[in-house]
Amino acid sequence: MKKTPTRLADGRELVYYDSRDDAVRDAADPRPLDPVSTASEIRHDALLGDSVVVASHRQGRTYHPPADACPLCPSRNGRHSEIPADDYEVVVFENRFPSLSGDAGRCEVVCFTPDHDASFADLTPAQAALVLDAWTDRTAELAAHPGIEQVFCFENRGAEIGVTLGHPHGQIYGYPFTTPRTDLMLRSLDEHRARTGGGNLFDDLVARERADGARVVLATGHWTAFVPYAAHWPYEVHLYPTRRVPDLRALDDGARTEFPQVYLELLRRFDRIFGDGEPPTPYIAAWHQAPFGDPRREEFALHLELFTVRRTSGKLKFLAGSESGMSVFINDVPPEAAARRLREVASAS
């Protein structure tokens, strides 16, 4: 992998990731951009004990532009986008409208492909491997940033999820705190260790799912994908490396080599859940990584959570009163049935 850092016209960092060592990335950003002005503020909720980000400047962010004005396509034919080059493989750059900035963290955009009409599932294994390399490198880079406690790599796909740009892309957040969801996992980790006399919650959970088998979607030598026993979403899959590691940087060569085939297969199954003729399945794909300074860091297990808000053909799962008001999820699809469906739509060998 070749990494080429540069700067956009307003000073934001942009990094090209290429599979070829002889790739040349020297296009300058000619746009007359003003310096980015942000107003991110983190406020503490005294009742719940969590943090809320207030980012009023995001009200003016780009919203569903036409394809010929997409800011994530390469700069071509006299039209200049966020990416100065006329072609690319993978690009990461600082978000122009970040939720987190300065002392309040950092937000980056990850472009997986220059093809506006593609999706992650359309990538080749080599292209997916390069994205994994980029995620890993950004985790390492952000780990060195003062004040960043946790790195979150994720992808939102589909207007139903709230995506405002149709071009296939993801994001990376560098939080200056440990997220509430991770705090809950760490609390459960502590309780399980105390209850079992030293057992690791993540190891025991994956072992239980592999032994049961009813909710396993696919299992290889280096990865296990399963629908969790208490899935919150209609179709939800958790993907764990066989060897527990705290973050992407610690994946071994075997897991890194096998990941593209496993992940692409999961995404393609998601697009086949509801049958032919259905629009692409909206989803969120979220990497959970250990906070950098937590003493339980080595006990945490890197994993990816992939889920959709579509519960059946033409119908979405909305977070209504119980979910939004009390954080008690009600799932219409039994996890065992979801796993069975995801096995049924496996790619033909």
Positions annotated as catalytic residues are 169
* Helix (H/G/I), strand (E/B), else coil: 239: strand
| Measured distance CA(106)–CA(290) in Å, rounded | 17
* Helix (H/G/I), strand (E/B), else coil: 331: coil
* Helix (H/G/I), strand (E/B), else coil: 301: coil
Contact 83/75 with Cβ under 8 angstroms? yes
278 membership: H or E segment, kind and range:
none
Which residues, listed in sequence order, are joined to residue 79 by a DSSP beta bridge? 76
| Measured distance CA(107)–CA(250) in Å, rounded | 22
**Apex CA 205: angle with CA 201 and CA 209, to 5°?**
175
| Measured distance CA(291)–CA(308) in Å, rounded | 26
Contact 184/141 with Cβ under 8 angstroms? no
| Measured distance CA(149)–CA(292) in Å, rounded | 5
Contact 152/179 with Cβ under 8 angstroms? yes
Q: Which of 113, 96, 112, 95 minimizes the C-alpha distance to 155?
A: 112
| Measured distance CA(172)–CA(139) in Å, rounded | 9
Q: Which of 334, 337, 217, 312 minimizes the C-alpha distance to 265?
A: 217
Residue owning tokens 């033409």? 314
